Amino acid sequence: MTKEAILEKITDVVKIPMNDYVADYVKSGGKVMGYYCTYIPEEIFTAAGLLPYRIHGTTGVDTGEADAYLSARLCTFVRTSVAMGLDGTYDFLEGIVLTQACDHIRRGADVWRNKIKRPFYSFLSIPRTPREWVFDWYLEELKRLKAELEGHLGVVITDEKLADAIKIHNDIRERLNTISDMRTRQKPPVTGEEALSITIASMVMPKGEFIELMDKLIPILDDSEIDGKYRARFILTGGEFDEPDYIRTIEEQGGLVVGEDLCYGSRTFRDTIDEKSGGDPMEAIARRYFFKVSCARMVGGFTDRLESIKDMLKEKNADGILFQRIKFCDPWASDAHNLKYSLKDADIPTLFLEREYGVLAKGQVQTRVQGFLESIGK
């Protein structure tokens, strides 16, 4: 199988929620568990015999029905995904697990619970600061989720099953990190659009089949490079982002995205779970998720996020930062303010982009990126 054929499969996987892999999985009797946030561990679902599925949207969705329940000042990602739940797009889900990742998703959770009605529903309360003194709170919430799944499915999630799930998900992270490392090259083997599609695919298809695809793709990538000339290399950061087409527009202007510090990007795979300590696998899972480089919902994590971006900029030999935020996203608006001054003080060129979910204002993005490239002399 060629690189192009594998990447075409990946593109097809992320285009629509009910992709062919998920359809086959459900047809064979498998159950799919949807979730919204990277603070909800996939390993628990895998250990329960479920397919973890990260909720994502598509372009051109009419949010009218969702807008009847949700304020117009809620971000369009939440309104789009809730609309897809209401119109039956996500009827293939056995259930949904949410958390107060932000006030917008918390409000969307009310609609999922009361109006969309899947067989299983759970809502996790996750602390808003990654500190040891509140870790037990988070761990107890995960244990409650585990118990709820056991009761719903009539299964026992043993330590052995959790250990096996940790191994599977670490194997995925290993492969994603391998591809990420290849992007440090002067001529990487994948574009930013392709890399983001690969990462999203890891969250919306059966894990074994994803690993098989990557084991075919990685040797090919190791001996290839992308076509085309690029004027600059960028790191993409900010809030929720699962739209490869948006990156394509950036790259068509000559700005190659070589890293994504995003919850659909490197924050999903950068850190692995300890498999060797022999301790409680639930605690190992919880520690990885709770103490990873945080997102903007976490109070007191800005310094770590800033250093993570700077490290990625250096590692990928990038020329600047692209910060994107969906309109009305409050947590990332705060980070945008802090980053503006911190990156300016560090003399790191940064372009701030505000957008709506699923609506690509192509001309505007082209103009902004072209202007940014010229402003940094590229």
* Domain positions in the chain: 19-156
Find tokens 């402003």 and name the residue: 375
The pLDDT of 273-291, averaged and rounded, is 90
Instruction: Tell me, yes or no, if the pTM score tops 0.85.
Output: yes
At residue 277, does pLDDT exceed 80? no
Give the model confidence (pLDDT) of 6-35 as tens digits: 999 999 999 999 999 999 999 999 999 999
**CATH topology assigned to domain 19-156:** Rossmann fold (3.40.50)
Residue, of 182 and 335, whose pLDDT is higher: 182
The pLDDT of 115-132, averaged and rounded, is 94
Give the model confidence (pLDDT) of 168-223 as tens digits: 999 999 999 999 999 999 999 999 999 999 999 999 999 999 999 999 999 999 99
Cβ 216 vs Cβ 6: under 8 Å = yes
Angle between helix 20-27 and helix 3-15 axes, rounded to 10 deg: 70
Which two tokens mark 174? Answer: 């290993």
Q: Mean pLDDT for the chain?
A: 93
Find tokens 């945080």 and name the residue: 294
The pLDDT value given to residue 59: 78
Residue, of 56 and 50, whose pLDDT is higher: 50
* Angle subtended at Cα 46 by Cα 237 and Cα 151, rounded to the nearest 5 degrees: 120
* Angle subtended at Cα 99 by Cα 269 and Cα 84, rounded to the nearest 5 degrees: 90
**Distance between CA 378 and CA 372 in Å, rounded?**
9
3-state secondary structure the chain: CCHHHHHHHHHHHHHCCCCHHHHHHHHCCCCEEEECCCCCCHHHHHHCCCEEEECCCCCCCCCHHHHCCCCCCCCHHHHHHHHHHHCCCCCCEEEEEEECCCHHHHHHHHHHHHHHCCCEEEEECCCCCCCHHHHHHHHHHHHHHHHHHHHHHCCCCCHHHHHHHHHHHHHHHHHHHHHHHHCCCCCCCCCHHHHHHHHHHCCCCCHHHHHHHHHHHHHHHCCCCCCCCCCEEEEEEECCCCCHHHHHHHHHCCEEEEEEECCCCHHHCCCCCCCCCCCCHHHHHHHHHHHCCCCCCCCCCHHHHHHHHHHHHHHCCCCEEEEEEECCCHHHHHHHHHHHHHHHHCCCCEEEEEEECCECCHHHHHHHHHHHHHHCCC
Which two tokens mark 330? Answer: 């409050």
Closest C-alpha to 238, from 269, 257, 261, 268: 261
Q: Strand 255-261 to strand 320-326: parallel, antiparallel, or no bridges (unpaired)? A: unpaired
Closest C-alpha to 122, from 105, 135, 109, 134: 109
Cβ 66 vs Cβ 87: under 8 Å = no
User: Which range is least confidently modeled, 297-301, 351-355, 360-364?
Assistant: 360-364
The pLDDT value given to residue 179: 97
Count of positions (residues) in the chain = 378
Cβ 270 vs Cβ 177: under 8 Å = yes
Cβ 235 vs Cβ 339: under 8 Å = no
**Distance between CA 97 and CA 135 in Å, rounded?**
20
State residue 236 phi and psi, 5-degree precision. Answer: -100, 130
Cβ 64 vs Cβ 363: under 8 Å = no
Q: Tell me how far the alpha carbon of residue 240 is from its chain's centroid.
A: 7
* Angle subtended at Cα 160 by Cα 154 and Cα 161, rounded to the nearest 5 degrees: 45
CA-based torsion, 101, 105, 106, 112: positive or negative: negative
Give the model confidence (pLDDT) of 68-123 as tens digits: 999 888 899 999 999 999 999 999 999 999 999 889 999 999 999 999 989 999 99
